[in-house]
Amino acid sequence: MKKKKSGVLSRAGQRRQREKEGRRDAILKAAMALFASEGYRQASMERIADEAEVSIGTVYINFKSKEEILAHLMDEIAYEIRTIVGETFRASEDPYEGMKKSGIAFMTEFCQKYPEKIIILYRESVGKSPLLEAHREKMHKQLISDLQGAVETLKEKGGFCFRSGLSSEIIATCIGGMYERIAYQFIIWQDRTDELDEASEEVVDFLIGGIDSLRKK
Amino acid sequence: MKKKKSGVLSRAGQRRQREKEGRRDAILKAAMALFASEGYRQASMERIADEAEVSIGTVYINFKSKEEILAHLMDEIAYEIRTIVGETFRASEDPYEGMKKSGIAFMTEFCQKYPEKIIILYRESVGKSPLLEAHREKMHKQLISDLQGAVETLKEKGGFCFRSGLSSEIIATCIGGMYERIAYQFIIWQDRTDELDEASEEVVDFLIGGIDSLRKK
Amino acid sequence: MKKKKSGVLSRAGQRRQREKEGRRDAILKAAMALFASEGYRQASMERIADEAEVSIGTVYINFKSKEEILAHLMDEIAYEIRTIVGETFRASEDPYEGMKKSGIAFMTEFCQKYPEKIIILYRESVGKSPLLEAHREKMHKQLISDLQGAVETLKEKGGFCFRSGLSSEIIATCIGGMYERIAYQFIIWQDRTDELDEASEEVVDFLIGGIDSLRKK
Amino acid sequence: MKKKKSGVLSRAGQRRQREKEGRRDAILKAAMALFASEGYRQASMERIADEAEVSIGTVYINFKSKEEILAHLMDEIAYEIRTIVGETFRASEDPYEGMKKSGIAFMTEFCQKYPEKIIILYRESVGKSPLLEAHREKMHKQLISDLQGAVETLKEKGGFCFRSGLSSEIIATCIGGMYERIAYQFIIWQDRTDELDEASEEVVDFLIGGIDSLRKK
DNA sequence: TATGAATGAGAATTCATTCAT
DNA sequence: AATGAATGAATTCTCATTCAT
């Protein structure tokens, strides 16, 4: 008789594992599509299960509540953004250039490609419940904190100081807000993806100008 | 059957009129407080009626649905903002100064004083239903359009040009987004109203810097 | 000073009386139209009041409930039918002819001219509430009783007997039912008023044939 | 994800299936009893669920609205009537005899045994809503159409003609109406089921007499 | 693990009727 | 008498979550 080695999975076990993950992904994918197209509230667990070709029960094996699905989606999206933006930023020698490139990457590599994700991030995750609101707050703080890190890098490499101790936080916060509304304006509310490249260029210049104006003279 | 002459109300009629408006206001006030504190979804019509000290039926005499109450609140809030920001902007000779002052007025005269209103504006009105989403879009477009008007004034009085035809829209959009996140950061998510004055100063300088960097050289 | 004589109305009093009755009639008329077109349930007291150009309060001064309005309408309609049918029946020397003529009069003088009334009688008054159902029962019994009286007259003048003591009631009941369904078929469900004359002729011959077949041989 | 082979159910699956159908039947039965005894309007979904010993949610799994329950009941009842009447009619060689027997079967085998059903058919389904009214119209047309078919058979087998092209429709309509009012008179409004046998005999003779009187001479 | 029928709290909305003016 | 704003009980329907199989 075969013995199971701990930590090692039999072929059948591997297949089950694959299927399990496939199911989980299918649920997440279905939920994302539904949340973005019909709205979090309108997307019922039944619809999500149907769309994922899974029973409601299975959804509840994988996620303990509807809220949790959204929370998970938010985390996933935030992680992707932090990855793409962070990598782009770090890939440049010049932090100014990194700032610009990462902003453009966010707009054109992320927002433009995955409109559902920004709809979830900026619209469907807003004001849903105290729990999700706490989650959203944490997520945005992380994003802002990343941004603030980049701003600090800029400052250090540039060898200058900001007007106050608050400045880098203000800058990071402003940048976050700018990107959000630009995404609304060019993707969520209107489909002007063709203008997004130009818009992104101007946005990054705007923010560079903003940053410079908070330098200590 | 209709006896009243147009436009003339008896004393008793006047009092009834006052009471009617008082009730409507009470409903709006109760709804605002509840939406901000518990969330739109969680605030049931029964709670709103209770809080306003009227019956549910009376709520439905004044507003045909819960959605309508929120829409009304949104309009009211947007109107106040446009008024306070617009007046402050126009009160200054120098449009740069007007831009700064109106931004500061928005943060300190409005957001700081009426946190419930910005919670409604920025959180509770988001992603509620297709109808409300359309309403919100319209409202934000108006706000951006106002802002864009101010930016254009700046340009004309300053006698300069922007880099492209898109610039003023980009600027207005960015400014709108900045204010939103700053409000989240200092009011909704954290109560740092004591730092708001300083933060506002930096925000307006940031945006002035941003605007300048989009001038045509 | 003029003294009011009991039972005599001053000119002004007469006018008020006229107006009062006018209002009452307007309410009844509005209710009839609304009940027939939208259905009893769907016709709200507010709509009735509006349509009658009267306030809701006035409706309640004239009728103590919505049910009462319908009950009144039913009585009125039943009274009209009994009058028109009874008079036509009694106008003929020959009771067979009277039977036929009154049936035809009912279909062509009444149903065809006042479709709203038969809708109320045959559809909107059915199954509304125990109270109204009792009222409807009473009304139909009266109608059947009239019909039974006519059948008895037929029998007596014709000098024959029916098969059993039940026969005249059966006949009257059957006739009532026939007219109802014919009205549904040619007026309520389909507008085939152009065929109604011919249909009525056949219906009355059918019923005469039916009556004869219950004679004692 | 779907594992079951088409058409094959495990024992457990069969039991679940039985239980499911049992619940559906219980709901229908409870609704029928309640509609007949308290009236469609007065019978709330909560009462129906209680009476059927299921939750409200279960009622809504089986029927998408209260209207649908009534519509289903109407269909079921109409189907039973068409079956019993049709079979009885076709069982006789002589169509005259078939006509009589099927009428008597309707009255004594159906109406007498299931008074709730005729209450639903003739009272509770009337004038409830535009949707249900359309359903009722369709149902009655089918019933009349069956009857008309029988009348045509009578004509053909009897080798005679009717006075006009309208005659068979008129006859069928009249017969439908007669049965309805007789049912009201002897079952719904009064409990005179002991007289129903005799009454039915006379009714069928009445209608045979009526039919004969519309023959072309 | 997977299933999906069952649950039932919860919410929005309607409208006949009342009553202060 | 006339008005019509206010009332609030009543009702339908939704949907996240549970749990027996």
Q: pLDDT tens-digit profile of B147-168?
A: 999 999 999 999 999 999 999 9
CB atoms within 10 A of CB D22: 12
With beta carbons less than 8 A apart as the criterion, state whether A6 and B96 touch.
Answer: no
pLDDT of C7: 60
Nearest Cβ partner of B178 from A40, A177, A205?
A177
| The amino acid at B135 | H
For D163-207, what is each residue's pLDDT tens digit?
A: 999 999 999 999 999 999 999 999 999 999 999 999 999 999 999
pLDDT of C11: 74
Query: Count of alpha carbons within 13 Å of A150, Cβ hemisphere only?
Result: 34
Paired tokens of B68 = 């309508």
- Answer yes or no: is pLDDT of A2 > 60: no
Say how far apart CA C117 and CA C36 lie, in whole Å: 8
Q: How confident is the model at residue A205 (pLDDT cuts 50, 70, 90)?
A: very high
Domains and CATH numbers, chain D: 8-63 (1.10.10.60), 66-213 (1.10.357.10)
Q: How confident is the model at residue B17 (pLDDT cuts 50, 70, 90)?
A: confident
Residue partners of B100: CB distance under 8 A and separation at least 6: B204, B205, B208
Nucleotide nearest to D41 (CA to C1'): F11
Chains that touch D (3 or more CB pairs under 8 A): A, C
| The amino acid at C21 | E
For A125-164, what is each residue's pLDDT tens digit?
A: 999 999 999 999 999 999 999 999 999 999 999 999 999 9
- pLDDT tens, residue order, chain C (217 aa): 444 445 666 777 777 777 777 899 999 999 999 999 999 999 999 999 999 999 999 999 999 999 999 999 999 999 999 999 999 999 999 999 999 999 999 999 999 999 999 999 999 999 999 999 999 999 999 999 999 999 999 999 999 999 999 999 999 999 999 999 999 999 999 999 999 999 999 999 999 999 999 998 7
Q: Does the CB of D19 fall within 7 Å of any strand F atom? A: no
- Answer yes or no: is pLDDT of B146 > 90: yes
- Measure A21 CA to F21 C1' (Å): 25
CA D145 to the chain's CA centroid? 14
Paired tokens of A154 = 């800029």
Say how far apart CA B138 and CA C119 lie, in whole Å: 48
Backbone region of residue D25 per phi and psi (left: phi > 0; alpha: psi in -120 to 50; beta: other values): alpha
Q: Exposed, middle or buried: residue B113 (CB in 10 Å: 0-12, 13-18, 19+)?
A: exposed
pLDDT of A6: 52
Paired tokens of C132 = 């109204």
pLDDT of C9: 67
pLDDT of A217: 78
User: Residue closest to E10, CA→C1'?
Assistant: B44
Q: Exposed, middle or buried: residue A4 (CB in 10 Å: 0-12, 13-18, 19+)?
A: exposed
pLDDT of B47: 97
- Phi then psi dihedrals of residue C162, to 5 deg: -90, 160
- Answer yes or no: is pLDDT of B126 > 50: yes
Mean pLDDT lowest among B196-200, C110-114, D21-25: D21-25
pLDDT of D1: 37
In the predicted model, what is the mean pLDDT of residues B94-104?
95
pLDDT of A8: 64
User: Residue closest to E19, CA→C1'?
Assistant: C57
Nucleotide nearest to B45 (CA to C1'): E12
With beta carbons less than 8 A apart as the criterion, state whether D175 and C207 touch.
Answer: no
DSSP notation for chain C = ---PPTT---HHHHHHHHHHHHHHHHHHHHHHHHHHHH-TTTS-HHHHHHHTTS-HHHHHHH-SSHHHHHHHHHHHHHHHHHHHHHHHHHH-SSHHHHHHHHHHIIIIIIITT-HHHHHIIIIITTTS-HHHHHHHHHHHHHHHHHHHHHHHHHHHHHT--BSSTTHHHHHHHHHHHHHHHHHIIIIISS--GGGHHHHHHHHHHHHHHHHHHTB--
pLDDT of C2: 44
Contacts 24+ apart (CB under 8 A), D146-153: D146/D82, D146/D85, D146/D86, D147/D171, D147/D172, D147/D175, D147/D176, D148/D172, D150/D89, D150/D95, D150/D98, D150/D99, D150/D102, D151/D211, D153/D95
The residue of D1, D2, D4, D60 whose CB has the most chain A CBs within 10 angstroms, and thus the best one to mutate to test that interface, is: D1
Q: Does the CB of A42 fall within 7 Å of any strand F atom? A: yes
With beta carbons less than 8 A apart as the criterion, state whether C182 and C139 touch.
Answer: no
- Answer yes or no: is pLDDT of B1 > 50: no
Nucleotide nearest to A59 (CA to C1'): E2
Q: Exposed, middle or buried: residue A2 (CB in 10 Å: 0-12, 13-18, 19+)?
A: exposed
Paired tokens of A115 = 């409109």
Paired tokens of C189 = 């469900």
User: Which residue bears the tokens 């009735």?
Assistant: C48
CB pair distance less than 8 Å for B185 and A163: no
- Measure A34 CA to E5 C1' (Å): 24
Q: How confident is the model at residue D19 (pLDDT cuts 50, 70, 90)?
A: confident
In chain B, residues 96 through 155 whose Cβ sits under 7 angstroms from any atom of nucleic acid strand F: none
For A166-194, what is each residue's pLDDT tens digit?
A: 999 999 999 999 999 999 999 999 999 99
3-state secondary structure of B71: helix
